[in-house]
Amino acid sequence: MLDLSLTQMAQGLAERKFSSVELTQAFLQRIQIVNPQLNAFITITESQALDAAKAADSQLEKGTATPLTGIPIAHKDLFCTEGVKTSCGSKMLDNFIAPYDAAIVTNLAEAGAVSLGKTNLDEFAMGSSNESSFYGAVKNPWDTQAVAGGSSGGSAAAVAARLVPAATGSDTGGSIRQPAAFCGITGLKPTYGRVSRWGMVAYASSMDQAGPMARSAEDCALMLQHMAGFDARDSTSIEQAVPDYLSQLGNSIQGMTFGLPKEYFAEDLNPQMAERIQAAIKELEKLGAKVKAISLPLTRMAIPAYYVITPAEASSNLSRFDGVRYGYRCEDPKDLEDLYKRSRSEAFGHEVKRRILIGTYALSEGFYDAYYNKAQQIRRLLAEDFQKAFQQVDLIVAPTTPNPAFDLGSKITDPIQMYLEDIYTLGVNLAGLPAISVPAGQINNRPVGLQLIGNHFGESQLLNAAHQFQQVTDHHLQKPALV
C-alpha cells in the first residue's frame, strides 16, 4: 500500500481493497519505524488520524467520498491546526497550540484527507537545509549524511521515505522545490495568490506560498485541486476560478516551446547536474517540445534582492513574538524591556536572529532607499525579464538547484554559500510565478531536480508537462534504499 499513488489509493479505497483505517495504520507504523532515523515529523497525531480515518470510511460506505477521502497526508508545521502544536520549528512556539485551522488544512480535511501530523522545517521557514530547526536537522532518506533541503525538508523526506504519500509545504524562495529536488519527489510552488495564506505563519508575506509535495505531478494536481481557491480572509488571495487540473494531464506537449535560460547553465551549475538536466530536456524534445535559448539577465541579482526584501518583511512579521501574548516567555523578567529582550534572545535561533537584524537594518532611516527600495526596483525588473521570456516561450526549463544535496553541517556556518544554493529558485518567488520540480536522475545516489517555470496561473500547463515527462521516465518511481 505504501508505494501506491494517490489515485491508486483512492481507487483501492473505492473498491474496498483496504480501508482508510488500514491505510492510516500502515503509514503510522512506518512513521514509528523510520522517523527516528530521519526526524521528518515534529508531531504525530495518531488518535486524531484514526478518528478521521474512521469518518472517511463512513463517507466511503455512503458513496459521498472525494478522490482524497481517507488518504493520509501531513502538514508542514507552520500551518495552524486546531488543537495541535504549531511550532514553526522554533523554541518560540514550542508551547503554542493553534486555536483554529489554516485555510488549506480546512480545505484538505473537508476533502476527506487524513492528517498524520506536522512535519519538521527550518525555523520559521528560514533556511535551505532544514538544519535551523529547534527540533534538529532532517536527514535525507537517500543518504542520511546529506541534508533534506529546506525549509520544507520534513515534508520532502516524509514523502520520499514513504512515511506519507503527500504533504503540504510552503515556498518563499524555493522551499518546496529545493527539498523536493534533494529528496527525489515532485513539488509545486503555485502562483502567488492561488492558494490561501490564511493560517500560515508568515515569514515574508509578499512571497510565501503554500503548495503540494508528492511523488508525481498527477498526485500534486490532485492535492492542488483541493488546496487552491479564493479566500476572502486572505488579502493576497486572487479571485479566479480553479481549473480541473487532473482533466488536463493528458494533453500533448507537441509543439510547445521551452525556454532555456543561459544564466541557469553557467559556471554555478555542477557539470554532472548539467548532464542530467540536458538528458531530461532531450526527453521533452522526444515528446515533441521545442527548446529555445533565452536570457534572464538579472538572474544573479535575485539573491541580493531576495535577501534584502525577505528579512525586511520577516523583521516586521516576527515582531509579534514578544513573550507577551503567546509563545515562549523568559523567566522572571525585571521589566517590559527585559521581557522583550530575553524572550526573543532565548527563543529565536541564529538564522532567524540574523535575518531579523538584516531586515531591521534595511528598513531603518537612512538605509530604506539604499537597500529595501532598490531591492524592490530590482524585483520589478526581474519580473519584467520573465514576462519578456514568456512572449517567446510557453514554459521555462532549468535545474532546480546548482548541486545535489550537500552534506549535513557543510554550509551551516557559511550563510553566503547556503544562500547561493537558491540561485535558480528565488526569481520565481520575486516574480510571483508558478514552478514545479520533478526528479530527473541522481548523482552519487543523491537526486537531481528538473525545474519547469510557468507564467501566472499556468499550473495546468506545468503539471501536464511534468506529467508527460513522468510518463516516459521512471525517476519519480525510484525510492531510497532506506525504504
Q: What is the pLDDT of residues 430-472, one digit of tens each?
A: 999 999 999 999 999 999 999 999 999 999 999 999 999 999 9
User: How many angstroms separate the CA atoms of 215 and 155, rounded?
Assistant: 11
pLDDT at residue 482 tops 80: no
Q: Are 38 and 183 in contact (CB under 8 A)?
A: no
User: Apex CA 222: angle with CA 219 and CA 223, to 5°?
Assistant: 90
Q: Are 395 and 258 in contact (CB under 8 A)?
A: yes
Q: Are 480 and 161 in contact (CB under 8 A)?
A: yes
Check residue 96 and give its pLDDT. Answer: 97
Quick one: average pLDDT of 340-347? 97
Helices (H), 228-293: 271-286
User: How many angstroms separate the CA atoms of 148 and 167, rounded?
Assistant: 15
> How many CB atoms are located within 10 Å of the residue 319 CB?
12
pLDDT at residue 274 tops 70: yes
Check residue 483 and give its pLDDT. Answer: 58
pLDDT tens by residue, 78-126: 999 999 999 999 999 999 999 999 999 999 999 999 999 999 999 999 9
Asked whether the CA dihedral 283, 285, 289, 293 is positive or negative, the reply is positive
Helices (H), 201-334: 217-227, 271-286, 302-317
Among the options 5, 175, 196, 315, which is catalytic?
Answer: 175
The mean pLDDT of the chain is 97
User: How many angstroms separate the CA atoms of 453 and 462, rounded?
Assistant: 7
The Cα-based distances of 153 to 143, 281, 382, 428 in angstroms read 14, 26, 27, 19
Among the options 133, 151, 216, 237, which is catalytic?
Answer: 151
User: How many angstroms separate the CA atoms of 458 and 470, rounded?
Assistant: 19
What's the DSSP call for residue 124? G
Q: Please choose, from the candidates 295, 299, 290, 297, the residue with its C-alpha nearest in 3D space to the C-alpha of residue 402.
A: 299
**H-run or E-run covering 447:** strand 446-453
User: How many angstroms separate the CA atoms of 345 and 347, rounded?
Assistant: 6
β-strand partners of 222: none
Among the options 5, 19, 20, 76, which is catalytic?
Answer: 76
| Residue 14's pLDDT band (cuts 50, 70, 90) | very high
C-alpha atoms less than 13 angstroms from C-alpha of 45 in its C-beta half-sphere? 22
Quick one: average pLDDT of 357-384? 95
Which grid cell is 232? Answer: 476572502
Asked whether the CA dihedral 11, 17, 21, 25 is positive or negative, the reply is negative
Helices (H), 287-423: 302-317, 336-347, 350-363, 374-390, 415-420
pLDDT tens by residue, 21-44: 999 999 999 999 999 999 999 999
Asked whether the CA dihedral 424, 426, 431, 435 is positive or negative, the reply is positive
User: How many angstroms separate the CA atoms of 125 and 310, rounded?
Assistant: 11
pLDDT at residue 478 tops 80: yes
Where are the chain's structural domains? 6-256
Concerning whether 175 is annotated as a catalytic residue, the answer is yes
- Kindly state which CATH superfamily the domain 6-256 is placed in: Amidase signature (AS) domain (3.90.1300.10)
Concerning whether 76 is annotated as a catalytic residue, the answer is yes
The b/e string for 222-244 (b: 16+ C-beta within 10 A; e otherwise) is: bbbbbbbbebeebeebbeeebee
Q: Are 38 and 30 in contact (CB under 8 A)?
A: no
Q: Are 476 and 215 in contact (CB under 8 A)?
A: yes
User: How many angstroms separate the CA atoms of 427 and 103, rounded?
Assistant: 26
